[in-house]
């Protein structure tokens, strides 16, 4: 049924992409890509569903012991608005593969694609009740779902503040929770790196989806000897970005709503007020300023390590550049936020990237690349305030199931 659902999503790709683009403001090419990723989630976990094995455990003479995987039962999935269908697929595909019945609470700003996918699930043959979508405000529908005694597992993707509320509600029912929260992910750039490739990736990692990506590369830490020259390349990248409505298919669209725009503008205003140099900014047409929640991507630096722009998640296209002298200092800066979701290392020195990959406190570490969440196949999730639990890859099948140990005495 998951494989069939994957086919149906691809059949309806164009319609689903426009629904997603119009609901979120994404450029249409980005929305099309999101729908392809959704199909890939259903394909990947549909393919995995009949390959989940148990264990046989050697025990005392006369006993046979096996461990089998079982579904949690009813799983709740509270998802955000930044990548509505990608988050939906990431969460429900492994849950359905393991035999759970899912109740989804999409974000109030972007519920349409979840509803469409639920209709397609019926066409794919899922029985009524296997995939349910409950729309509504977070504080009402989301809170009710988190506290519901009939729910056996909760997957939450969103802000740390709401994640804590969900975990508290789940604790009262002794229900396990997977929390995918925010990040302040660093990219470490050393003088010996391929600086052109690094600069292009650094720009993309903070501006794709208008910076509304939990694993956005929102900090770039640059070795002092190349700070000015490297940041000129990054600034040039910002200045070339095109911003527009979905049908213009620009590099980025608006942020999701007025509140998010105000948040981004507040961080930018604070950086300017505190005298941090603006290194580059994308041009934003006047008519866009007036017509929607558009913000101009901007890069500031050097940003002091304790400044809010270097510590807090903006969730918009604003990059904080920091400077370091030594490898130790780079590691200390990289680990010096409450978060630990993703990190990038740019160097040609193999010993150095091996050392750094060990020392960075992060759920994913990219070397001479940056995946902003990586592929469907790659386990993903946070450390520290970025959350706990793992999604994506085969590990998600463990996350979305529990075990039963069966002990048989036969003499
Ligand atoms: P949010 O936490 O306000 O909302 C997320 C979801 O939770 C929505 O569906 C919302 O309706 C629901 N919700 C709100 N209040 C609730 C409550 N009291 N009880 C239960 N559910 C409730 O987050 P947001 O502002 O919509 O999204 C942005 C945040 O999400 C950012 O911090 C971002 O980093 C994070 N995020 C993380 C990931 C990840 O994979 N780690 C992915 C996307 C977004």
Does residue 238 surpass a pLDDT of 90? yes
Q: How far away, in angstroms, is 142 Cα from ligand 1 center?
A: 10
361-382 pLDDT per residue, tens: 999 999 999 985 569 999 999 9
Taking the C-alpha atoms of residue 171 and residue 24, their distance in angstroms, rounded to an integer, is 33
CB distance 269 to 278 below 8 Å: no
Between the alpha carbon of residue 164 and those of residues 55, 157, 312, 385, 407, the distances in Å are: 34, 11, 17, 10, 37
Taking the C-alpha atoms of residue 295 and residue 146, their distance in angstroms, rounded to an integer, is 33
- For ligand 1, atom 16, the nearest C-alpha belongs to 138
Q: How far away, in angstroms, is 60 Cα from ligand 1 center?
A: 48
Q: How far away, in angstroms, is 141 Cα from ligand 1 center?
A: 13
What is the reported pLDDT for 291?
84
Tell me, yes or no, if 391 is annotated catalytic.
no
Q: In the chain, which segments carry CATH 3.40.605.10?
A: 2-181+386-409
Q: How far away, in angstroms, is 338 Cα from ligand 1 center?
A: 17
Cα end-to-end distance, the chain, whole Å: 42
- For ligand 1, atom 19, the nearest C-alpha belongs to 143
- For ligand 1, atom 40, the nearest C-alpha belongs to 180
Q: In the chain, which segments carry CATH 3.40.309.10?
A: 186-367
Tell me, yes or no, if 369 is annotated catalytic.
no
Between the alpha carbon of residue 346 and those of residues 197, 294, 334, the distances in Å are: 9, 31, 13
24-50 pLDDT per residue, tens: 999 999 999 999 999 999 999 999 999
User: Both tokens of residue 370?
Assistant: 């940056």
User: Both tokens of residue 256?
Assistant: 């999701």
Q: Which fold has domain 186-367?
A: Aldehyde Dehydrogenase; Chain A, domain 2 (3.40.309)
pTM (two decimals): 0.96
Q: Which fold has domain 2-181+386-409?
A: Aldehyde Dehydrogenase; Chain A, domain 1 (3.40.605)
Q: What percent of the chain has pLDDT over 90?
A: 98
Q: Whole-number mean pLDDT of the chain? A: 97
Taking the C-alpha atoms of residue 164 and residue 219, their distance in angstroms, rounded to an integer, is 25
Does residue 66 surpass a pLDDT of 60? yes
Does residue 280 surpass a pLDDT of 80? yes
Provide mean pLDDT across the span 140-164: 97
94-147 pLDDT per residue, tens: 999 999 999 999 999 999 999 999 999 999 999 999 999 999 999 999 999 999
- For ligand 1, atom 20, the nearest C-alpha belongs to 142
Say which of 180, 223, 313, 391 is annotated catalytic: 180
Sheet with 387-388, strands from edge to edge, namely 131-133, 101-105, 74-78, 153-157, 177-180, 387-388
């Amino acid at each position: 049924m998951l494989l069939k659902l994957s086919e149906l999503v691809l059949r309806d790709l164009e319609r689903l992409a426009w629904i997603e683009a119009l609901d979120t403001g994404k450029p249409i090419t980005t929305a099309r890509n999101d729908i392809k990723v959704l199909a890939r989630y259903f394909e990947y976990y549909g393919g995995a569903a009949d390959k989940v094995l148990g264990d046989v455990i050697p025990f005392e003479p006369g006993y046979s012991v096996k461990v089998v995987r079982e579904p949690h039962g009813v799983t709740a999935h509270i998802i955000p608005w930044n990548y509505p269908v990608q988050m939906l697929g990431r969460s429900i595909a492994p849950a359905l593969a393991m035999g759970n019945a899912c109740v989804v609470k999409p974000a109030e700003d972007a519920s349409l694609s979840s509803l469409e996918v639920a209709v397609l699930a019926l066409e794919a043959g899922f029985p009524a009740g296997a995939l349910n979508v409950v729309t509504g405000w977070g504080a009402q529908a989301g809170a009710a779902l988190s506290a519901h005694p009939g729910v056996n597992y909760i997957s939450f993707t969103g802000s740390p503040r709401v994640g804590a509320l969900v975990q508290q509600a789940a604790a009262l029912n002794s229900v396990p929770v997977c929390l995918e929260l925010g990040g302040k992910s660093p990219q470490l750039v050393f003088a010996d790196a391929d600086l052109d490739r690094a600069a292009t990736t650094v720009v993309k990692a903070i501006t794709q989806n208008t910076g509304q990506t939990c694993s956005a590369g929102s900090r770039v830490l640059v070795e002092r000897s190349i700070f000015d020259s490297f940041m000129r390349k990054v600034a040039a990248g910002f200045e070339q970005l095109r911003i527009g409505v979905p049908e213009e298919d620009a590099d980025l669209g608006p942020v999701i709503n007025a509140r998010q725009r105000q948040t981004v503008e507040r961080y930018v205003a604070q950086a300017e007020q505190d005298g941090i140099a603006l290194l580059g900014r994308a041009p934003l047409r006047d008519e866009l300023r007036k017509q929607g929640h558009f913000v101009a991507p901007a890069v500031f630096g050097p940003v002091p390590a304790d400044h809010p722009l270097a510590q807090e998640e903006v969730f918009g296209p604003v990059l904080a550049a920091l400077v370091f002298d030594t490898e130790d200092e780079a590691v200390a800066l990289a680990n010096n936020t409450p978060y630990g979701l993703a990190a990038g290392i740019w160097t040609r020195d193999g010993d150095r990237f091996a050392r750094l990959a060990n020392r960075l406190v992060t759920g994913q570490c990219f070397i001479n690349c940056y995946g902003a969440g990586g592929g469907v196949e790659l386990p993903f999730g946070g450390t520290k305030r970025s959350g706990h639990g793992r999604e994506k890859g085969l590990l998600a099948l463990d996350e979305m199931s529990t075990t039963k140990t069966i002990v048989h005495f036969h003499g």
